[in-house]
Chain A
Amino acid sequence: MTAIKTEAQDVLRLTNISKSFGATKANSDINFALKKGEVIALLGENGAGKTTLMNILFGHYTPDTGTVEAFGQMLPPGKPGAALAAGIGMVHQHFTLADNLTVEENILLGTEPLWKLGLGRAAARARIVQLSQDFGLAVHLAAKVGLLSVGERQRVEILKALYRDARVLILDEPTAVLTPQETDALFVTLRKAVALGLSVIFISHKLHEVMAIASRVLVLRHGRLVGEVAVADTDKHALAEMMVGAEVAPPEIAAAQIGAPILSLRAVSVVSQGTKGGLQDIDLQLKSGQITGLAGVSGNGQAALADLLSGLIVPDQGEVEIDGRAIAQWSPRIALSNGIARIPEDRHKTGAIADFTLTENVILESFKSAQFSRRGWMNKAEADRFARHVIDTYDVRCPGPATPIRLLSGGNMQKLILGRALEPGPKVILANQPVRGLDIGAVTYVQSRLIAARDAGAAVLLISEDLDEIMGLSDVIHVISEGRLSPGFARGSKSATELGIWMAGHGFAEDAA
């Protein structure tokens, strides 16, 4: 009798959620409900408010207004345990597993008092095995988590949530670290979960995945819920428009005037370190007047390549050549003095010193030059003048050069870093995820500056996980997969699907398997 009622029941309902941080409205007046046996996608650019919303749901933040209801019960705000106890499980983008414990121990950790962990294992193990069969999550229970691949770790995280009787699974950017095959396997698991009556919130900014797995899509922009559509009634184009607020125009780009190779990697190998993938026998030429795009799923060696070109690591094998001469010594300073400009992936951790002023940050790579210091004494006036020049030229919105950079928005911080990198007139520009997390205005600005630098004769290497960005900007595209580099494909010669096959690791010469 009650079956119909149960079926229509909302397992999760968020009502009028608002949250501000200072002047920033991270979430304003968000309402949505999740039904039993449904996958909804939460779509939005970085900074759109997805993470804040999930933190409110999990009680890490107290909302300014609004309520969270799970299975008909109101969740007390600001109580981190409540959502878990109500059967909501979250798989974070950055896993929360103990590397030195086994899979089984990781799953059990926190479910039993520590002194009982050793007891009653057989029953617990049987349940884990049952769950892994039901949901298609193959893992080796006795393996140490530290030795597992990223995909396997994610399966452990999901099992962990399921073992805690999660009825709602929230996955935060789950595919960012997965290969396409692992992504497919994850989708199989999610479909099984839904068939078994679970509900899933899938957070992503990858449109094709959202289209593939979700039944409904919620689009967040600048903290507001700007759209709620059934996947059947929409397409990628419309979603993209909703996400960024306007038709995404590919940047204007003229035909490339390709010149001589400036920087070459010859048979370069880098041993992988920890979770950072290495490089296997890579040959790459960066040519003057050309944007070289590096496509690939993150964690396939992009970090090693970026570190190498930044001067942070030296190749274990092979050579780096600049203007045809092999480099004998290699460090960030030497890279800089050879005209390599770097825009690092993480502007907060690597690109800037948060508590330094704009002036101090803008001279970070050049403070020892004759322009900014003499015999060890800083020339503050000249540094300030340079900072003002960069602020004006690169449209950095800020109160002034004496402002600590941490007070700037991501886009303005990135513009300052861009100015710092481009002002010396570099020969090579390494742009690692240069527009990640920026609003659309800053994205266009940064991209047009990179194009201008390329037109002025710089060799640009663009590393991005966003295939659309790569395809829009690059004159030649290489795909990186498990540390191997594909041949260069000229602009327009390969479709996204064809590049995707390379990204999945197929097509490489030494691919025997």
Chain B
Amino acid sequence: MRLEPVTAPTLARTLGYPALAIALTVILASGLSLLAGANPFATLGLIIKGAVGSKFALLETLNRATPLIFTGLAIAVAFKAKLWNIGAEAQLYAGAVVTVLLGTGAVGLPQPFFWVVMAGGAMLAGALVLLGPVLLKTRLGVDEVVTTLLMNFIVLLFVSYLLEGPMKDPMGMGWPKSAALLREARLPRIVPGLRLHWGFGLALVSAGVVWLIQTKTTLGYEIRAVGLNKEAARFAGISVSRVLVLTALLSGGLAALAGFSEVAGLKGNLTLDLSPGFGYTGIIVAMLALLHPLGVVVSALFVAGIFVGADSMSRAAGVPSYIADILLASALLLMVLAILLTRFRVVRG
């Protein structure tokens, strides 16, 4: 069996395989809920209902999608340049730490500036966390997959130390958590009374900005050139290391915004469970979106909806919420396969 490229894929081919992937994912999930002793149709219905079935559910999904949009964008930007940033988790926590440092009284500023300074500081921190690995890559050829992955553990353990030591909330009854952000440091809600904060708005704006950068600017052109063919880019006079460093700064900054938005918009303080793996899930989000920045918004909503819906379904139907992980994993694998099949044809022999 071999793959031969399809030069001009038909519309049926472009849409058929992804549709098949979604259908297969649904069938797989149905089978699993049967195994768990529940009616598959009811399970799926409950997942959808839990994700978008009510105002509360929808807002919960949007809230959950917010950090995923940021980390998804971070990954999409980096992967576009073939910079394999697996460390969005670390960059997210770095952003969160700086948000807490600035937001708990280190500086005091009137409101719009306060948020700008916190977000800027967070982005800087996230960018710096990725700068080390990318310099190691451009200077010494060290594989960034390893270094960025390991940075996740280093940063998480460092945060753990901070929360047990210097940043520990003296009023926290001994729990490893930071002090709460000042009231004026908190991001306001988009609609008063509903649990959706302006972090979501910032995420949408970021996606638009990233899209503009990628399609309309020379930097975006360079990033795509380096990602598609490093050798030709270098030959044409593009400084590959400079482009990779700038890409890393942008990627790290975006991931850090997830930390900023979660702390300033949702939690109000920093704990070690701030992120249930948003940095890693961002990879799925970015891949499902084919690295397209506007697609990231859609796929982040989809992924968030499945998580939120599965949580709610689990409470109602008794099917373990782990089904969300399986759904996402199989959706990703099948979608990657489907996209391959839209571009290549399998030939026997």
Contact = CB atoms under 8 A, between A and B. Distances in A.
A349 B237 CA distance: 15
Contacts of A364: 225, 232-233, 236
Given A22-B7, A378-B216, A351 B221 contact: no
A355 B229 CA distance: 9
B49 to A, nearest CB: 42
Interface string A301-314: 00000000011100
A351 B237 contact: no
A312 B236 CA distance: 10
Given A353-B229, A354-B228, A354-B229, A344 B235 contact: yes
A368 interface: yes
B145 interface: no
A62 B234 CA distance: 38
A395 to B, nearest CB: 23
A332 B221 contact: no
B217 A312 contact: no
Contacts of A352: 229, 232
Nearest to A353: B229
Given A368-B218, A376-B219, A356 B228 contact: yes
A312 B348 CA distance: 43
A352 B232 CA distance: 6
A505 interface: no
A310 B235 CA distance: 7
A377 B217 CA distance: 4
Contact of A353 (B219, B233, B348): B233
A426 interface: no
B171 to A, nearest CB: 48
A355 B228 contact: yes
A350 B231 contact: yes
Interface residues of A, number: 34
A350 B225 CA distance: 12
Contacts of A354: 228-229
A22 B4 CA distance: 10
A367 interface: yes
A15 interface: no
Contacts of A353: 225, 228-229, 232-233
Contacts of B219: 376
Contact of A367 (B7, B221, B232, B348): B221
A365 interface: yes
Contacts of B234: 312, 332
B235 A342 contact: yes
B218 A349 contact: no
Contacts of A377: 216-218
A378 B235 contact: no
Contacts of A312: 234-235
A312 B231 CA distance: 10
B349 interface: yes
Contacts of A351: 232, 235
Interface in A35-65: 62
Nearest to B349: A78
A344 B231 CA distance: 11
A333 interface: yes
B349 A62 contact: yes
Contact of B229 (A79, A310, A349): A349
Contacts of A344: 235
Nearest to A368: B218
A377 B214 CA distance: 10
A230 B72 CA distance: 66
A310 B232 CA distance: 12
A77 interface: yes
A363 to B, nearest CB: 8
Interface string A349-391: 1111111100010001101100001001110100000000000
Nearest to B229: A353
Contacts of B218: 367-368, 373, 376-378
A380 B229 CA distance: 21
A336 B238 CA distance: 11
Contacts of B233: 353, 364
Nearest to A60: B2
A225 B130 CA distance: 58
Interface in A308-351: 310-312, 331-333, 335-336, 342, 344, 349-351
A88 to B, nearest CB: 19
A501 interface: no
A306 to B, nearest CB: 11
Interface centre among A310, A344, A376 (most CB of B within 10 A): A376
A373 B221 CA distance: 11
A333 B224 CA distance: 18
A407 interface: yes
Contact of B237 (A77, A336, A355, A376): A336
A336 to B, nearest CB: 5
B7 A360 contact: no
B228 A350 contact: no
Interface string B264-300: 0000000000000000000000000000000000000
A370 to B, nearest CB: 12
A310 B217 CA distance: 26
Contacts of B225: 353, 356, 360, 364
B349 A77 contact: yes
27 contacts: A62-B347, A62-B349, A79-B349, A312-B234, A312-B235, A332-B235, A332-B236, A342-B235, A344-B235, A349-B229, A349-B231, A350-B235, A351-B235, A353-B228, A353-B233, A356-B224, A360-B221, A364-B225, A364-B232, A364-B233, A365-B236, A367-B218, A367-B221, A368-B218, A377-B216, A378-B217, A378-B218
Given A332-B234, A353-B233, A356-B228, 11 more contacts: A22-B7, A332-B235, A333-B237, A335-B237, A344-B235, A349-B229, A350-B232, A352-B229, A364-B236, A365-B237, A377-B217
Interface of B: 7, 216-219, 221, 224-225, 228-229, 231-237, 239, 347-349
Please list the 4 inter-chain residue pairs (A to B) with the smallest Cβ-Cβ separation, ordered nearest first: A78-B349, A333-B237, A332-B237, A364-B236
